[in-house]
Amino acid sequence: MKLYTVKTPKLVKSLFPKLVWEFSVTSKIIYLTFDDGPIPEVTPWVLQQLSKYNAKATFFCIGDNVEKHPEIFNQLISEGHSIGNHTQHHVNAWKVSNDQYILDSIHCNETFKNALNSSKNTTTKLFRPPYGKITPHLVKKLRELDYKIIMWNVLSGDFDTALSPEKCLANVIEHTETGSIVVFHDSLKAQKKIRYALPKVLAHFSNKGYTFKSIPM
């Protein structure tokens, strides 16, 4: 079992107050986010599920996957979803130098630009650190590059190989509320759990009058 918390503790949020953990909204809005794509085995299916509820989401893409699957990347944008930088190679901020981390993030941004259809002029300033790992120094450097660092307050746990699909669903149902930023992964590792949980999450909260919106880029 991996060590993580489903609901982000207030202490953690207080240590990094310049990061976005949730949104203060008065209407019933939820912000679904998907990390680690795009990949053909999962991402198009996620888009199909979202479209059934006219739901918009935010996809934090790995640059290397965007290079391999630019058509899916462009589909995300054409269907009205937001995109965010998740570094070029999904690097761990605690295991590489600060310079290497920033260069990898810039590389990802350039990959996005190169992958976009020529008719589009889309840029993003959304960034999510892989593994949720970041340092105060890197926060400062990324903010100097005008990035808005998006974290979360609900972690589905779909990446956890020891977690059942049912528990993944319960994690989201039990902890999500108005303004929550929820993390799923459109990845091979997570696909069994996301295929079980995502349709049920969309149905559950839609029936309760919630809408799903993307984070403005």
**48: part of which helix (H) or strand (E)?**
helix 43-52
Orientation angle between helical segments 43-52 and 191-207, nearest 10 degrees:
10
Tokens of 121: 């002029």
**60 and 84 Cβ atoms separated by less than 8 Å:** yes
Out of 35, 36, 104, 160, the active site residue is 35
Q: What angle do CA 9, 128, 142 make, to 5 degrees?
A: 105
Residue 44's contacts (CB-CB under 8 Å, 6 or more residues apart) are 72, 75
The question of whether 185 is a catalytic residue gets the answer yes
Neighbours of 158 (CB within 10 A): 28
Q: Which amino acid is at 24?
A: S
The question of whether 35 is a catalytic residue gets the answer yes
**205: part of which helix (H) or strand (E)?**
helix 191-207
* Whether residue 38 has a cis bond before it, omega within 30° of 0: yes
Neighbours of 67 (CB within 10 A): 15
Neighbours of 36 (CB within 10 A): 23
Out of 86, 160, 185, 186, the active site residue is 185
Q: Give catalytic residues, as residue numbers.
A: 35, 185
